[in-house]
Amino acid sequence: MNIVLLKNKTDDPTITVQQKQILKYAHHHSLHIDTTEIENSNPLLELDERKEFKGFLRSLEKNDHLIIFDLFTFSEKVEELVKVFECLLTRSITVHIANANTLIADTSKPLHLLELLSKQTELGKKMEKEKIQGRPKGRMSKSKFDIYRPRIIECIENNTSISEISKILGVSRTSLKDYVNSRGLKDLVKAKISFLKSSKKQALVVSANKDKECSLIKNTPLEKEGINNEL
């Protein structure tokens, strides 16, 4: 299966920019997109704290193809990226990085991955320098509406109006509208629908019999009840 993973907690690049680049990459390489997922967790957290993302990793099957805009979709920390790739490559999952027009597979030379990680380190240092004034470029400040994000997205997917959503949540319509617009949540939903429009909707199923599994995606006692992806 060819799966697109879009990152949500960023406004640079926007969901629309990610979508266009990935569609361009997929078209150029004749990749049929089967489904898309949205990554909502904070990429600055340790992977063990990102239950939603770990649930997504667990849902992937051997020989799947994962298409992302850039490595920041996975994490902003190089050491965490190494863990992600270890999990993916041991199960022969190929990662397509649209913005770099490249892919990483279990047959790729280690040097290729090291070069990508090296560039990621340089980008990370550049972002650190941009923190001098206010929040870092491309990062969104926290909002009281963040806790409602999954519910808001679900309502937008169901064509619920902003007025109705504000009543459901018991919040100000004006403030909610500003939040939806600043986070590009409507564009996010449109992107997901667009990816799936010409494809069959297929649920990602957790495989009970994976040939290989790394410690990152193994169930912990607190996770055995299962993980519900918010999108």
Q: Is residue 227 part of a domain?
A: no
Residues 96 and 206 in one domain: yes
Backbone angles phi, psi at 168, to 5 degrees: -60, -40
Domain of residue 27: give its range.
Answer: 2-136+188-217
Cα–Cα distances (Å) from 17 to 14, 68, 185, 228, in that order, read 5, 12, 14, 27
State phi, psi for 101 to the nearest 5 degrees.
50, 50
CATH number at 67 reads 3.40.50.1390
The tens-digit pLDDT sequence of the chain (231 residues) is: 999 999 886 656 888 889 899 999 999 999 999 998 888 887 778 888 888 888 899 899 999 999 999 988 888 777 788 888 888 988 999 999 999 899 999 888 776 777 777 677 666 666 666 555 455 444 556 788 888 888 898 898 899 999 999 999 999 999 999 888 877 778 767 756 654 553 343 333 333 334 445 555 555 443 434 333 333
Q: Are both 46 and 152 inside the same structural domain?
A: no
Residue 103 lies in a domain: yes
